[in-house]
Structure formats: C-alpha cells, structure tokens
Amino acid sequence: MKIIVVGCGKGGYTIAKSLSEEGHDVVIIDKKNDVFDKVTESLDVMSLRGNALSANILLEAGAKQADLIVCVASNDETNILCAITAKRLGVKKSVARVRDPEYAVELMQFRKDFGLDMIINPEQQAAFEISRLLRFPTAQDIITFVSGRVEIIAFPLGADNLLANKVVSQIFAKIKMPVLLVSVEREDGVFIPHGDMTLLEGDLLRVAGRPDDIMDFFRYIGIFSERIRDVMIIGGGKITRYLCDYMHKYNAKIKIIEIDEEQCNELSENLPNALIIQGDGTDEAVLESENLEEMGAVVCLTDRDEENVVTALYAQQCGVGKLIIKVNHINIEIIKKLNLGSVICPKNLTCYQIIQYVRRLNNSAGRSSIRAMYKIVDNEGRGLETLEFEITEFSRALHIPLKDLRLKKDALICCIVRGSNVLIPCGSTEINENDNVIVVVDGESIDEFDDILE
C-alpha cells in the first residue's frame, strides 16, 4: 500500500519504520529538515520537507494514489485538518492522532462527519493498559482479544512457584484448566514452548484463556493477588487524566504527585476525587511523606524516562509491590532487563494499532480479517506476533479437525471464540465460520489466518 505519514517525531518514525518493514511504500512529510538525516540513513522511505497542510505538498507526496494517511504531527489541530484535507484530495483512508482529552471525546463522536477513519490517542490507550495492569497486578502485561473475552497475560516465574523446573506437558496434563501456555521468554529470546521444554525460574510466561480461568489458574499456582486499591501516580500529564477516569470506576484511591503548580490546579479541577500533591516525584522526602511504602502500586508517568526509572528503582527498594513505568525514548528492552515491573510505551501501542489497521485494510477482501495484532518482543527486538482473526466462509481451514490441519512449525492456535464460548483447542476441535481465532506466530508477519497453514 502507499502510505503517507505526516510528522516524523518518535511516533511517526516508529510507524514509518514498521510500515516500511512490512513492505509498504511510505512517504514521510515533516516541516523540519533535521529529522530527515536519521530517516534517510536508516529507513527505506521517501522524505518530503514541507507543511503537510498544503495541498501541493500532499499532492507531491502522492495523495491522489495513496491508500492511507497517518497524521502524527505534534499538534492535534494540524493532524485533524491534514487528515481531512488529504481525504478530500483523494487519499482513501485517513488516521489522525488526537491527544487532547477535550477533542478526543468529541472527535470520537463526530469522526464520521469529518471523514476520519480512525482516531488514535496514545495517551488514552496507555492509560487503558495501565488500568488493566492495576486491576490485575500479577500480570506484567495483558493483551486482550474479542473485547476482553480472551486475554494473554504475562507473569514472571518465581523460584518458589510450583511450575518452576517442571516440564510443560506434565504441568498441563495435571492441571487440566482451560488455559494455554503460549510463550516463554528468557535470556536467549522468546519462544512458543513445546511439550518437553522445562520451565525455569526467571522465565516470563504468557498464558491465554478466559480472564476468569486465568484467575483460577493463578490461584491454583499461588500467585493471585487482589486488585490494587492505593495507587500513587508520579507526573500529572494526559495519561494521568485518562487513567484517573478509568480507575475511578473501580473506587481506587489515587494520589498524584506533580511538580508544576499550574498543572496541579488544572488536575484538581478535572479530577475532584484524586489527591493531588505538588512536589518533585524524584524527591525521596516527598515520596516518604506521602507514604510511598504503603502504596499498592506506583505508576511513573513523567515526561522524562530517566526520572521514571529512578523513581521506580526507589519505590522498588521501599517494597512497593507493583510498578508501572512509562518510557518514550529509552529502548524499552533495556528497561525490561532491570526487572522493575511493567513497562508501557505509548508510541509502540500507537504503532501496533496502526499496523493492525493497515493489515486489516490490506486483506479486507481476504479469507479472514485481522481484528487485533500485538507484538511480543524480546531483548534483541526479535519476537512473536499474537493476532486475532475473524474467520470467513472462504478459509481453507473450515471444518477440519485441528489435528489434521497442517500448521506451520512456528505457529500456535491459542483460542477459538465461538459466540459466547471460549475454546482452548485440542486435536478434535474444528474451526467454523465467524469464529474468532487467536494465534501466535514466530518470525514472519502474516495478513490472514490461512497464512499459518502449510
């Protein structure tokens, strides 16, 4: 597909990189010249300098033939206007990033009237992810499918866990719970486990299943913990505002520490239920006076990655059980190695959302369509993809028992959602029309379900 990306900040760069690597023709438009050195050296895309609101620049970027425009410039208004203009000039689909909470709500409502096909709001999405992690603190990260009916949840394997040093096939033969182990991540990478693999202490395991079943599984292996009631948030930006909205529904007690006085005032106006403290989130005295050690969770959301990491390190020393860190610039894998807790990266979330959208566009006429796509990436940046497909009548896999389907070696079918049932597949399970199937694949990226068949 021919795709125009407007804005080449950290978000735009990540999106352009992923799309280009997926084989699409990408043109980047940015006002500033200095961002292009990095782009032309490392990405196989075309870069164009200029104001993306000008019709001429858009035409020069090939707006007439383009299939998609992704507007991720720094300014919301630019993004909205640019997406609308481009659509009028002939771009088939438009996506705009809108961050301002006020616009975001309204635009979601009037999206169709403006001719926008998708609105992305990385902060809101990040807040949503964080709220899920707080409700379910055992998880290091959670991926949801079929509007929350299936989840893939990651948890680290402790030494005292009864799964440690056991062979995979034995564990699940014994437990007989409707959950499926989908991946094992350790020092040398992330794998889809096979039956005779031994789980080791320190592995990061991911299991798929219905959320309730996963809860039961966690209770069984003794790592279940209740949802968190006391949360301290460091930094009072947009994510914080969205996060408070989500958490408010669960009656969590929220304490926000923000250094900027004006920002504090604004927060207190908008978030009457939260406790807002004006102070430096990296200052130990401030944290201690606000009873850091009694907090169920600490969420670090300042704009500076370094501060987030340092605060999290301190909170870990104080014995806070759950830590969530936002990073934007630092390589996310480096921070994961510190074993601090969950790491949230808004630009990656946005990027996955866009790739998911592009792949769906790409095979809208195909045998199945992508509903969701997430990446599980290891320290080397290599990884697995988890995808949800809706199966249509054209799939080659219909009504064949799974044991007779010839799947590629590095693919795994984790769950089949049929109506209100969630099935963990076994050899005799068949795939029907309109099923939602969740698969995990290693390595190559796929556009439709049939790609995992031999």
Partner 1 sequence: MDLRVVLKLLGHVLIFEALFMLVAAAPSLAYGGWDFEAIMFSVGVTAAFGLALSKIFGSVESAFQKREGFVTVSLAWISLALFGALPYYFAGVHTGFVDCFFESVSGFTGTGLSVFSDLDILPKGVLFWRSFTNWLGGMGVLVMVLAIMPSLRPSAINLLHAESSGPSPGKIVPRIRDTAKIMYKIYVALTLAQIFALFIAGMPIYDAILNTFASAGTGGFSPQNASIGAYNSIPIEVVTGIFIILFGINFSLLFCLTQFDFKSFFADEELRLYLFVIGGAVLLITVDLISVYGGVGKSLRYAFFQVATISSTSGFVSTSLTDWPSLSKAILLCLMVFGSCAGSTGGGVKILRVLVAIKSVRHEITKILHPRLMKNITVNKKTLDTAILNNIYVFFFLFASFVVAATFLVALDTNGLTSAFLVVLSSVSNVGVDINVFGASLAHSATFSGFSKFVLSVCMLAGRLEFFPVMILFVPSVWRKG
Residue closer to partner 1 by CB (options 16, 324) is: 16
Q: Is 42 in the site for partner 1 (CB under 8 A)?
A: yes
CB of 397 to partner 1, least distance (A): 30
Q: What angle do helix axes 238-248 and 101-114 make, rounded to 10 degrees?
A: 90
Given 6, 15, 29, 43, the residue binding partner 1 (CB under 8 A): 43
Q: Shortest gap between Cβ of 447 and partner 1 (angstroms)?
A: 19
26 binds partner 1 (CB under 8 A): yes
Residue selected from 46, 84, 310, 377 as contacting partner 1 according to rule CB under 8 A: 46
The reply to whether 54 sits near partner 1 by the rule CB under 8 A is no
* Residue number, 45 or 153, with CB nearest to partner 1: 45
What radius of gyration do the chain's Cα atoms show?
A: 23
**In the complex with partner 1, which residue's Cβ is closer, 42 or 421?**
42
- How far, in Å, CA of 280 to CA of 282, rounded? 5
Closer residue to partner 1, CB minimum distance, 42 or 317: 42
Rounded to whole angstroms, the Cα distance separating 121 from 108 reads 10
Q: List 247's β-bridge partners, or say none.
A: none
Q: In this complex, which beta carbon is closest to partner 1, that of residue 44 or of residue 303?
A: 44
Q: Which helix (H) or strand (E) holds 87?
A: helix 76-89
As given in the structure block, the two tokens for residue 148 are 């929350």
20 touching partner 1, by CB under 8 A:
yes
Least distance in angstroms from the C-beta of 25 to partner 1: 4
Q: Is 58 in the site for partner 1 (CB under 8 A)?
A: no
Give, to the nearest 10 degrees, the angle between helix 101-114 and helix 76-89: 10
Q: Which two tokens stand for residue 146?
A: 């079929």
Question: If binding is defined by CB under 8 A, does position 1 make contact with partner 1?
Answer: no
Is 45 a binding residue for partner 1 by CB under 8 A? The answer is: yes
- The interaxial angle of helices 346-362 and 10-21, nearest 10 deg, is 40
Q: Residue 80, interface with partner 1 (CB under 8 A)?
A: no
Confirm or reject binding of residue 380 to partner 1 (CB under 8 A): no
Q: What is the DSSP string of 149-207?
A: TEEEEEEE--TTSTTTT-BHHHHHHHH--SEEEEEEEETTEEE---TTPBP-TT-EEEE
The residue within the footprint of partner 1, chosen from 32, 38, 40, 226 (CB under 8 A), is: 40
Residues that bind partner 1 (CB under 8 A): 2, 20, 25-27, 33, 40-46, 49
